[in-house]
Structure formats: C-alpha cells, structure tokens
C-alpha cells in the first residue's frame, strides 16, 4: 500500500478513537480541571500525534502506552467516585484561604499564591475589599470561591421578608419560527393553546424568533421584526387590579346599605377578599 | 345606576376574576401555586354566593329592578 494511504487511514482511525476516548473520560471543562487531569489529556493527545506521524515506530507499542494512560485515568476517576480517600489523593483537597475574615498565610504559601493574586481573585468575585470576605476557599481546580460577610451579601426576598411565588424554569416552545412540541407537551399544553396565545398578541408564528412559556403558562415572544412592539403579558396584573376593585366595591356597599344584615355580610366578605388579595399578591405581581 | 345593577356589576367582575384565576390554576406547573389558587377560588366562591343572595333579596324588595 502506498505510504500516504496508510497515513490517511491511520489518521482517520485515530481521529475517531480519540473522539471515543475523550467521550469515555467524561465531561469536564478543560479550564476547570485539576493540573494532573490536564496533563493526562495532553499526554493522550501527544501519543495520538506520535503514533499518527510514525515517530513511535512500532505502532502497537504506541497503542499500548496510550491504552495504559486512558485506562488509568478512567480507573482513577471511577475509584475517586467510589472512595473519598482516593478522591482526595487524586484531586487534592480544597484549601481555605480566608477564614472568619482572616487571611491564612500558611495555606497561601502551600498553594503558592501571592497576596496580589489573592486580591485579584477576590476582585473577580466582586469583593474589592478583603474586609468584605468572611470565607474564601481555593478549590482543587484552582478556582477561588468567596462567601461575603452577612451584611455585604446581596439582598434576597428572604431578607426583605417578602413572600415570593415558586417559579420553575420556562420552556422554550418556539425557536426560529418552528413550534417545539416536546417542551409544549411537558407543560401540558398543545399547539392549539400556542396558536390562541399568538392570535391574542397578534403575531404570526413565522415572525417569531423565540417564544418561551413560563411556569404559570404566560407566553413571552421575541420577533424577527424588531420594529413591532409586542405587549408583555399583563393578565395577572389585571386580575390583581380586578380583585382589588371588587374589594373596594364591597367596602363601599357596606357603607351605603341601610340594612344591618347586608352591612355585616359586605364587610365580612370585604375582609375575606382582602385576605385573598394579600395571599395572591406574590403570585400575581412579580 | 341603581344599587342592584352596581352589585351585579361587582359580581360580574368577581366572576371574571375567578375565571382568569381558574385558567392560571389549570396552566400552572407548581403544586404549591395550584394549591393556593384553589384555596383562593374556594374563598371567592363563598363571596360570590353571598352576593348572589344579596341580589335576590334586593330583587325581592324592589321587584321593579328585576333582571336589570
């Protein structure tokens, strides 16, 4: 066989072999790997190159070496899932850099980190003053994660004592003008519902770039034609206003009527409705 | 506007709100949300019933406004 043909076949074969190997080694982000894992990938890549270009003359030896590296990497990964000790040895432990607001100098030296680097890492986590940091830890991948002091944390609804309605992830039901049936049926909706919603907004399906339905079944769309103004769903706000109006009506009836019995009935129901309004508020207004 | 028609208008508004709420109850994915909506629907049902009775009583007192 001609040399070039052998090279071609070998390259194609190794291309797919490498693809399968990398798939077998799992989904890890190359930027968030432990240094040793990174070396594993590089060495596997090098073996592939060396075998393809015939630098390792006996290709069976090359495959053997490649196989050992792949097998060990996968075996160590598997073992570190099974055992915490092996996991710690293979991946290393995380290092605490700041504890209770105090910088741990010895730990910083251990992880070969300078003060400048620590400050820059804190800044990238939006902690410009180290005094804002309660706890910082260097993960085994070299990432630095930061817990801000309680008074420097961003405000949440819980801090404000606000009740919020639970929300689940929205489903994308239209993409590039095509209806996606699977997410639709996941939400218990169908095409008829979608066509009805689009008719209500007054846009055609073909003009839709993205359409998402949120967990309460409101449809949000983005159109190809950006000069068209799409109304945001306001049904919930209107429903809330409607309930409040009814509450106000009941109160005024209670004032207007002469019958004592009716007065009691109106004011009792006004209180009831007020409770309903307050309870529904987080669900309808957000 | 007579008292009866005012009360009837309020009743209609409340019933329309109930219908919308029912729609959201049917569309919602979250169990807790559905439970809250159901609870609120039950409460408003009671108010609707009271208003209906009040309209009946008013119509009995002033039959000339019946059906308006």
The residue-averaged pLDDT of A245-267 equals 88
**What rounded mean pLDDT belongs to chain A?**
86
Domain shared by A17 and A79, yes or no: yes
Mean pLDDT check: name the lowest of A241-250, A259-268, B8-17. Answer: A259-268
CA angle B40/B45/B51 to nearest 5° reads 130
The predicted complex's ipTM stands at 0.87
Domain shared by A27 and A42, yes or no: yes
Gap from A246 CA to chain B (nearest CA, Å): 6
Residue A165 lies in a domain: no
The residue-averaged pLDDT of A161-189 equals 84
pLDDT for the residue numbered A248: 92
Q: Mark yes or no for CB contact B20/A239 under 8 Å.
A: yes
Query: Is the Cα torsion angle A156, A161, A166, A167 positive or negative in sign?
Result: negative
SS3 for A28?
coil
* CA dist list (Å): A214 to A82, A175, A194, B39: 39, 15, 13, 22
Domain hosting A221: range is 171-232
Number of domains in chain A: 4
pLDDT for the residue numbered A15: 92
Residue A124 lies in a domain: yes
Q: Mark yes or no for CB contact B43/A245 under 8 Å.
A: no
Query: Of A212, A217, A201, which is closest to residue A174 (Cα–Cα)?
Result: A212
Residue A160 lies in a domain: no
- Write out chain A residues lying below 8 Å of B37, CB-based: 280, 283
The residue-averaged pLDDT of A46-69 equals 86
A178-205 tens-digit pLDDT? 888 888 888 888 888 888 888 888 888 8
What percentage of chain A has pLDDT greater than the value 90?
Answer: 6
Residue A164 lies in a domain: no
Q: Is the pLDDT of residue B67 over 70?
A: no
Residue A166 lies in a domain: no
The answer to whether residues A119 and A126 touch, using CB atoms and an 8 Å cutoff, is no
d(Cα A284, Cα A282) in Å, to the nearest integer? 6
Q: Mark yes or no for CB contact A216/B27 under 8 Å.
A: yes
The residue-averaged pLDDT of A217-224 equals 85
What percentage of chain A has pLDDT greater than the value 70?
Answer: 99
B40-54 tens-digit pLDDT? 899 899 999 988 988
Q: Mark yes or no for CB contact A269/B29 under 8 Å.
A: no
147-186 in A: which are within 8 Å (CB) of B? Answer: 165-168
Residue A223 lies in a domain: yes
Please tell me which residue, A42 or A168, carries the higher pLDDT value.
A42
Q: Mark yes or no for CB contact B46/A167 under 8 Å.
A: no
d(Cα A16, Cα A271) in Å, to the nearest integer? 71
Asked which of A217, A232, A247 is the last residue of a domain, the reply is: A232
The pairing of beta strand A208-213 with beta strand A171-175: antiparallel
CA angle A245/A247/A251 to nearest 5° reads 115
The residue-averaged pLDDT of A204-233 equals 84
Banded pLDDT at A282 (limits 50, 70, 90)? confident
Alpha helices per DSSP H over chain B: 3-27, 31-61
Asked which of A71, A89, A107 is the last residue of a domain, the reply is: A89
Q: Residue ranges per domain, chain B?
A: 3-65
pLDDT for the residue numbered A229: 80
Residue A147 lies in a domain: yes
Q: Is the pLDDT of residue B68 over 60?
A: no
Report how far apart the first and last C-alpha atoms of chain B are (Å, whole number): 10
d(Cα B19, Cα A28) in Å, to the nearest integer? 50
A95-119 tens-digit pLDDT? 888 888 888 888 888 888 888 888 9
Asked which of A106, A124, A152 is the last residue of a domain, the reply is: A152
Query: Of A17, A282, A15, which is closest to residue A162 (Cα–Cα)?
Result: A282
A123-144 tens-digit pLDDT? 998 888 888 889 999 888 888 8
Gap from A217 CA to chain B (nearest CA, Å): 5
CA atoms within 13 A on the CB side of B53: 11
What the block records as the tokens of A189 is 């909706």
Tell me the count of A-B CB pairs closer than 8 A.
86
What the block records as the tokens of B59 is 């119509």
Domain shared by A129 and A194, yes or no: no
Type and span of the H or E element at A73: helix A59-82
């Amino acid at each position: 066989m001609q040399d070039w043909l052998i090279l071609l076949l070998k390259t194609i074969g190794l291309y797919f072999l490498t693809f399968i190997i990398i798939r077998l080694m799992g989904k890890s982000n190359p930027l968030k790997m432990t240094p040793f894992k990174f070396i594993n990938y590089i060495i596997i890549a090098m073996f592939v190159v060396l075998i393809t270009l015939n630098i390792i003359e006996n290709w069976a030896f090359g495959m053997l070496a490649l196989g050992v590296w792949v097998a060990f990497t996968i075996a160590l990964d598997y073992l570190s899932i099974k055992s915490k000790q092996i996991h710690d040895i293979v991946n290393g432990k995380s290092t605490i850099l700041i504890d209770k607001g105090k910088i741990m100098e010895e730990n910083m030296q251990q992880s070969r980190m300078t003060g400048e680097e620590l400050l820059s890492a804190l800044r990238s986590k939006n902690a410009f003053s180290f005094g804002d940091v309660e706890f910082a830890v260097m993960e085994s991948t070299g990432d630095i994660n930061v817990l801000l002091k309680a008074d420097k944390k961003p405000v949440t609804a819980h801090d404000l004592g606000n009740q919020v309605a639970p929300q689940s992830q929205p489903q994308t039901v239209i993409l590039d003008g095509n209806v996606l049936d699977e997410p639709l049926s996941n939400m218990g909706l169908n095409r008829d519902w979608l066509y009805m919603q689009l008719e209500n907004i007054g846009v055609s399906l073909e003009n839709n770039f993205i359409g998402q339905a949120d967990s309460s079944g409101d449809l949000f769309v983005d159109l190809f034609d950006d000069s068209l103004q799409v109304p945001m769903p306001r049904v919930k706000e209107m429903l809330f206003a409607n309930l409040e109006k009814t509450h106000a009506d009941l109160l005024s009836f209670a004032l207007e009527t002469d019958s004592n019995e009716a007065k009691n009935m109106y004011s009792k129901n006004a209180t009831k409705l007020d409770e309903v309004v307050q309870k529904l508020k987080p669900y309808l207004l957000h | 506007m007579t008292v009866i028609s005012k009360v009837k208008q309020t009743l209609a508004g409340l019933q329309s709100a109930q219908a919308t709420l029912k729609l959201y109850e049917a569309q919602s994915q979250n169990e807790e949300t559905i439970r809250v909506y159901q609870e609120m629907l039950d409460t408003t049902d009671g108010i609707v019933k009271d208003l209906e009775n009040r309209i009946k009583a008013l119509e009995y007192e002033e039959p000339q406004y019946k059906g308006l």
